[in-house]
A and B are shown apart, each in its own frame.
Chain A
Amino acid sequence: DGGITQSPKYLFRKEGQNVTLSCEQNLNHDAMYWYRQDPGQGLRLIYYSQIVNDFQKGDIAEGYSVSREKKESFPLTVTSAQKNPTAFYLCASSSQGVPAEGQYFGPGTRLTVT
């Protein structure tokens, strides 16, 4: 089955530690996205990548980093510089050149930092 997988579903970390969230897709999509979701704030774009080895900052990139070494994978690292990292993180992908299809979303990772 084609789709997007995110792992783990739940992640717990101590303050001051970096943590990497996994996102893999087998939809052959060129574009991939990371969103952060907080209650009452909707989805906010962290980073996006339209092709391998290239990515752009979204609206709230500070304290986060990404890489795009393979078409299928777009991992997100939440660094210790992110002041309020506890949130629900969603990965998505879409066909480059076909924006009208919208985006396909993974099941999300809930990160709790204490």
Chain B
Amino acid sequence: AQSVTQLDSQVPVFEEAPVELRCNYSSSVSVYLFWYVQYPNQGLQLLLKYLSGSTLVKGINGFEAEFNKSQTSFHLRKPSVHISDTAEYFCAVIPMNYGGSQGNLIFGKGTKLSVKP
């Protein structure tokens, strides 16, 4: 079985500071990795994804994430955050041996990023 752990439920940070949101996963097979963002009372929007190749992936809104296979991690980073980045961020995986549950995302519980002026 697969699982995703987001180590911090809440991350407060000041505007223009760097931020890292941590994500670790557990899986016996290779996975695709995703980060989604959710603004209050809205649906989820894809920030970025890792499928294969370069372990550093860049997404929208200046975010990037690095896949580390040995540590089974996929941490999300931004060098300088804005007030508008205040949202909840979800890490998710899709196992590559999906079989009958093809395409089903397995989510972490989310990290609420709060950017303060």
Residues of chain A whose beta carbon lies under 8 Å from any beta carbon of chain B: 4, 6, 31, 33, 40-43, 45, 48, 50, 56, 88, 90, 92, 94-100, 102-108, 110
Option from A45, A48, A102, A108 in Cβ contact (under 8 Å) with B34: A102
* B109 and A105 contacting across the interface, CB-CB below 8 Å: no
24 A-B pairs in the complex with CB atoms less than 8 angstroms apart: A6-B43, A33-B104, A40-B110, A42-B90, A43-B44, A43-B90, A43-B107, A56-B100, A56-B101, A90-B44, A95-B103, A98-B103, A99-B32, A99-B103, A100-B49, A100-B51, A100-B94, A102-B34, A102-B49, A102-B92, A104-B46, A105-B43, A105-B44, A108-B43
* B109 and A102 contacting across the interface, CB-CB below 8 Å: no
* A102 and B42 contacting across the interface, CB-CB below 8 Å: no
Chain B residues with CB under 8 Å of A6's CB are: 43
Rounded to whole Å, the gap between the CB of B25 and the closest CB of chain A is 13
* B94 and A110 contacting across the interface, CB-CB below 8 Å: no
Option from A99, A105, A107 in Cβ contact (under 8 Å) with B98: A99
* A102 and B94 contacting across the interface, CB-CB below 8 Å: yes
- Report if A102-B9 is in contact (Cβ < 8 Å); known contacts: A42-B108, A50-B102: no
B4 nearest in chain A by CB position = A42
Interface size class of B (residues with CB under 8 A): 20 to 34
* A103 and B103 contacting across the interface, CB-CB below 8 Å: yes
